[in-house]
C-alpha cells in the first residue's frame, strides 16, 4: 500500500468530526506546505490553506459531507506560504469508528497540471473559433465583392449569371 501511495502521489487524511483532529500523511503535508512532522492537524490547517476565491465552495462541500455523513467530493485551490497555487482534488467518505466517533477518511492529489492543460485547450479552442468566425466573415465579404459592383454596390454580371444558372437548374429538375 505504501508503494502504491508513493507512486500515485496521493495524500491520505482522516478527520475525526467529534474531536476536530485531522491526521495527514507526509504527502498531504507536502501538498499543503506543512512540515512532515507527523503531528495532528486541525480543520483550520486545511481551511487556512484554501485559496480565498475557493473558500466558500470548498467549505460548503466539506460541511455537506459531514451533515449528510456521506461522500465528500471537492476540487479547489490552495495557496502555499511561498505564494504557489495548487489545484487539489479531494474525495472522502464518512464512517463511524469502533469507538463510536464520526470520521471522514479521504485522499487528495495535485491536479494542477491537468487544470492548466485544460485551460490551455479551452483558450486554443476559443482562438480557433474566433479565427473560424473571421474566416467565414472574410469569405462572405469576398463573395459579396465578387458579385457586386464596387462603386454602386449593385449586383453585377457575374451575379446575374449565377442567378440564371440556379433558376435554369430548378426548371430542369421540375
- Residue 6 has a pLDDT of 65
- pTM given for the model: 0.72
Alpha helix positions (H), the chain: 2-8, 26-32, 43-49, 55-68, 112-147, 157-173
User: What DSSP designation does 144 have?
Assistant: H
What Cα–Cα distance (Å) separates residue 94 from each residue in 23, 74, 79, 134?
15, 14, 26, 53
Ranges under pLDDT 70 in the chain: 1-7
15: left (phi over 0), alpha (psi -120 to 50) or beta: beta
> What is d(CA 21, CA 93) in angstroms, rounded to the nearest whole number?
16
For residues 119, 6, 29 and 21, what is the CA-based torsion angle, rounded to 10 degrees? 110
- Residue 143 has a pLDDT of 94
Amino acid at each position: 500500500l505504501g508503494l502504491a501511495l508513493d507512486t500515485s502521489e496521493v495524500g491520505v487524511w482522516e478527520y475525526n468530526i467529534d474531536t476536530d483532529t485531522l491526521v495527514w500523511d507526509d504527502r498531504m503535508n507536502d501538498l499543503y506546505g506543512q512540515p512532515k512532522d507527523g503531528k495532528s492537524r486541525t480543520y483550520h490547517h486545511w481551511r487556512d490553506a484554501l485559496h480565498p476565491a475557493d473558500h466558500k465552495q470548498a467549505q460548503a462541500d466539506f460541511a455537506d459531507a459531514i451533515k449528510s455523513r456521506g461522500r465528500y467530493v471537492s476540487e479547489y485551490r490552495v495557496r502555499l506560504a511561498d505564494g504557489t497555487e495548487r489545484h487539489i482534488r479531494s474525495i472522502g467518505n464518512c464512517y463511524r469508528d469502533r469507538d463510536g466517533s464520526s470520521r471522514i477518511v479521504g485522499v487528495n492529489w495535485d491536479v494542477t497540471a491537468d487544470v492548466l492543460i485544460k485551460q490551455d485547450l479551452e483558450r486554443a479552442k476559443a482562438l480557433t473559433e474566433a479565427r473560424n468566425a473571421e474566416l467565414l466573415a472574410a469569405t462572405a465579404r469576398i463573395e459579396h465583392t465578387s458579385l457586386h459592383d464596387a462603386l454602386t454596390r449593385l449586383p453585377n454580371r457575374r451575379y446575374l449569371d449565377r442567378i440564371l444558372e440556379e433558376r435554369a437548374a430548378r426548371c430542369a429538375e421540375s
